[in-house]
Structure 1
Amino acid sequence: MVSTSQKKTLQSILVGKLNKLSIPPSTSTLGESEDFDFSEVFGPPTSHASSSSQFLRDPDTIHSRSHSFVGPSPRFATPTSLPFQAIDGESGSQSSDGEGEVDGDKGKEKVEIGKMGPGDFAILRVIGQGAFGKVFLVRKKDNSGGDDGIFAMKVMRKETIIKKNHVDYMKAERDILTKVEHPYIVQLRYSFQTKSKLYLILDFINGGHLFFHLYRQGMFSEDQARVYTAELVSAVSHLHKRGIVHRDLKPENILMDSDGHVMLTDFGLSKEIDESSRSNSMCGTTEYMAPEILLSKGHNKDADWWSVGILLYEMLTGQAPFTHANRQKLQQRIIQEKMKLPPYLSSEVHSLLKGLLQKEPSRRLGNGPSGGDEIKNHKWFRSINWKKLETRELQPKFKPDVNGSDCTANFDQCWTAMPPDDSPASTPTAGEHFQGYTYVAPNPWLSSG
């Protein structure tokens, strides 16, 4: 039998926990109004989000190319944009009305924030689907941030993430997106969670994804592929300089804006790796996986340059250099077979492909101490002015047909025809996996001082 003092103790604990919870508005259009927002309870993110949990094994290899979330990507963030800040319930000072003020770079910048959740966004349509959930085109309600309020919302189910042992990768994706700012890399605006789901809010790019345009055109000319590859090399070099390996480079994870520039997205398999370290994870999409990954020899940034080589080959020929319907035979071809170079390609691009698709990573182009600069200096990129490219002054010749900021004509109808519903999901029994997930990007128009 429970004593009176025990009852009082239990009651005080329960009240303390309930006071920390907030219920999203009942007007939510997302079907999640029954979920609590735990963002105020979680502590700040760890500084090394890439460290693997001792209780979680590495994720399985992704063999199906349809897993990819296709949709979110950024508009170019100007060089004057303020640096990102992680905003969590225990950071900054919280006022009684739920809004807070967070000090920026050594107290110079202050950003007012309010609670953010699914109810703040109206779903317009589906623009992608993956193993853990969907990507929606959404409009931010009561928008006053100086933009059109159109975003891509990536929604992932916690229960599925935990079952597939991808917890560390989902946390790493969120953390990596808060650390990178580049003209050809997706930019995160917000992240938050409910009891059952994780949410990433990113700028929406309405030009569709590279795979969509490659499928339509069959193959790209060398001039067209050169600009896309150069922008991709610039983005991947930026990641590598910050100790980040993407590990899932493929056309489905590269978007195109209305001006024809490419944008790298989907960091769900990315990882932070020290220069001297190697990862033994068997992850990625088989057609683009480097031989050292398939052989479980350990890999680092060199694996990304192999994937860039596969991408370039596919852009120029319409198919990957190593293909087979049987997965084991496909892996054998990647490990053992020599690449066949079409004679209609120039000798310069032959040279670049041979350098990128070296099966031994120590001999691969980009392996040296100069990294991506070694690739930028290759003779095939002789016509590229890298300074102009990295300020988006080089204009691609092809521009996708776009009609308005919320245009989805360049996204596959297999997604856009889906009912635009963020359906309810089961709540995992343990909630400690996703601490520190909440994030708000600072407003670039706010003045500092």
Structure 2
Amino acid sequence: MTAGGEEALRREYVIGDEIGRGRFGTVRRCYAAATGAPFALKSTPKAPLRALEADPLDLALAEQEPKVHLLVSAPPPASRHVVALHAAFEDADAVHLVLDLCEGGDLFSLVSAGPLPEPEAADLAAQLADALAGCHRRGVAHRDVKPDNLFFDASGALRLGDFGSAGWFGDGCPMTGLVGTPYYVAPEVVAGKEYTEKVDVWSAGVVLYVMLSGTVPFYGATAGEIFEAVLRGNLRFPPRAFAGVSPEAKDLMRRMLCKDVSRRFSAEQVLRHPWIVSRGGSAAVAC
């Protein structure tokens, strides 16, 4: 991480308008001073995080985000479908991350308009699986895979971003802690157990379910009710929502949303599933 904080940042980048706001910080457009190349600048003030004495996990995750994101961005790139970290600056007041600029919106906006055709869903699922496989090869689990964290770049390619909840599992390091978003979190996370990178595959399976049906597989009116539904893991395909969805697509979702972690697919296995291959998803990853 680059020392010098915002002063050093402003020497190297011209900071522009705000384009997003998250739980703890803001995202602004910025430009490399030397070349004019556009980037996104994520700035996280430290003061709000230090105030979270009741939830030290948030502070720990925020402090490790630059290191984990750099790990999945370092050359050779883990995957072209990961939002890359180009530079990081830190001082006593804040952490600033210079990231790829994705101006094509996010998957949440796309699926909010309704279910996607199978070829499009397979294409996007393949790109997501490629991103996860690249992260997992480097010992990093994203732990908050959801449509809101999947962005489109200028070429229309899907990019996995926001590594603020990511965890390191390399060298056999166990992961614990209730991290993620209720609708998308894996049952072993909710159960308070140690878990593996396959929690990302579960979340990706929920994303695929949403892309094909416009609904979530495990629903509740409160976070507690959602967690109960996730723990039951009773996966169903209501006829009204899945009338036109192929058996092959349902087979893949069953393998991704499998409560038995030993039988749940890995990201690499998702890429090799016949539905992904036959629908052209794999070709999209290679482009």
Q: How high is the TM-score relative to the length of structure 1?
A: 0.57
Do residues 286 (structure 1) and 286 (structure 2) align? no
2:215 counterpart residue number: 319
2:141 counterpart residue number: 245
2:191 counterpart residue number: 295
Once residues 144 and 278 of structure 1 are traced to their aligned partners in structure 2, the CA distance between those partners, rounded to angstroms, is 42
* Match for residue 150 of structure 1 among 38, 42, 53: 38
CA deviation map 1:127-177 (0-9, x unaligned): 21112111112234xx323xx422111010111222332333223221122
2:98 counterpart residue number: 201
Whether contact under 8 Å (1:189, 1:201) holds in the other structure is yes
AA partner of residue 89 (structure 2): F
Aligned positions of 1:428-439 closer than 5 A: none
Once residues 10 and 221 of structure 2 are traced to their aligned partners in structure 1, the CA distance between those partners, rounded to angstroms, is 41
Q: State the SS of the aligned residue for 2:8.
A: coil
AA partner of residue 184 (structure 1): H
* Change in CA separation of 1:340 and 1:185 when aligned onto 2, cut-off 3 Å: same
Aligned positions of 1:246-395 closer than 5 A: 246-274=142-170, 276-341=172-237, 342-366=242-266, 372-383=267-278, 388-392=283-287
* Match for residue 139 of structure 1 among 31, 37, 45: 31
* Match for residue 67 of structure 2 among 175, 179, 200: 175
Shift of 1:275: 6.1
Q: State the SS of the aligned residue for 2:163.
A: coil
Shift of 1:329: 1.2
Shift of 1:310: 0.3
Shift of 1:340: 1.6
Once residues 349 and 322 of structure 1 are traced to their aligned partners in structure 2, the CA distance between those partners, rounded to angstroms, is 18
Indicate the RMSD between aligned Cα atoms, in angstroms.
2.1
* Change in CA separation of 1:177 and 1:340 when aligned onto 2, cut-off 3 Å: same
Aligned positions of 1:33-182 closer than 5 A: 39=3, 116-118=8-10, 120-140=12-32, 143-145=33-35, 148-164=36-52, 165=56, 166-180=58-72, 181=77, 182=79
1:221 counterpart residue number: 117
CA deviation map 1:172-214 (0-9, x unaligned): 2211222222211011121112331110111212111111122
Equivalent residues, number: 272
* Match for residue 192 of structure 1 among 89, 93, 101: 89
Whether contact under 8 Å (2:114, 2:214) holds in the other structure is yes
Higher relative contact order (CA 8 A, sep 6+): 1
Once residues 124 and 132 of structure 1 are traced to their aligned partners in structure 2, the CA distance between those partners, rounded to angstroms, is 19
Whether contact under 8 Å (1:277, 1:300) holds in the other structure is no
Once residues 277 and 179 of structure 1 are traced to their aligned partners in structure 2, the CA distance between those partners, rounded to angstroms, is 16
* Range 301-310 or range 376-385, more displaced: 376-385
Once residues 4 and 217 of structure 2 are traced to their aligned partners in structure 1, the CA distance between those partners, rounded to angstroms, is 49
Q: State the SS of the aligned residue for 1:117.
A: helix
AA partner of residue 151 (structure 1): F
Shift of 1:243: 0.8
Could you say which structure has the larger radius of gyration? Answer: 1
* Change in CA separation of 1:348 and 1:385 when aligned onto 2, cut-off 3 Å: closer
AA partner of residue 321 (structure 1): P
Once residues 274 and 102 of structure 2 are traced to their aligned partners in structure 1, the CA distance between those partners, rounded to angstroms, is 32
Q: Where does the alignment leave 5 or more consecutive residues of structure 1 unmatched?
A: 1-37, 42-114, 367-371, 393-449
Q: State the SS of the aligned residue for 1:282.
A: coil
Shift of 1:290: 0.3
Once residues 172 and 286 of structure 2 are traced to their aligned partners in structure 1, the CA distance between those partners, rounded to angstroms, is 31
Once residues 316 and 136 of structure 1 are traced to their aligned partners in structure 2, the CA distance between those partners, rounded to angstroms, is 32
CA deviation map 1:57-96 (0-9, x unaligned): xxxxxxxxxxxxxxxxxxxxxxxxxxxxxxxxxxxxxxxx
Q: Runs (4+) of structure 1 moved beyond 6 Å?
A: none
> Which structure carries more helix by proportion?
2
* Change in CA separation of 1:228 and 1:199 when aligned onto 2, cut-off 3 Å: same
* Change in CA separation of 1:390 and 1:199 when aligned onto 2, cut-off 3 Å: same
Q: State the SS of the aligned residue for 2:31.
A: strand
* Change in CA separation of 1:240 and 1:281 when aligned onto 2, cut-off 3 Å: same
Shift of 1:116: 2.6
* Change in CA separation of 1:226 and 1:332 when aligned onto 2, cut-off 3 Å: same
Shift of 1:384: 5.7
Shift of 1:232: 0.6
Q: State the SS of the aligned residue for 1:116.
A: helix
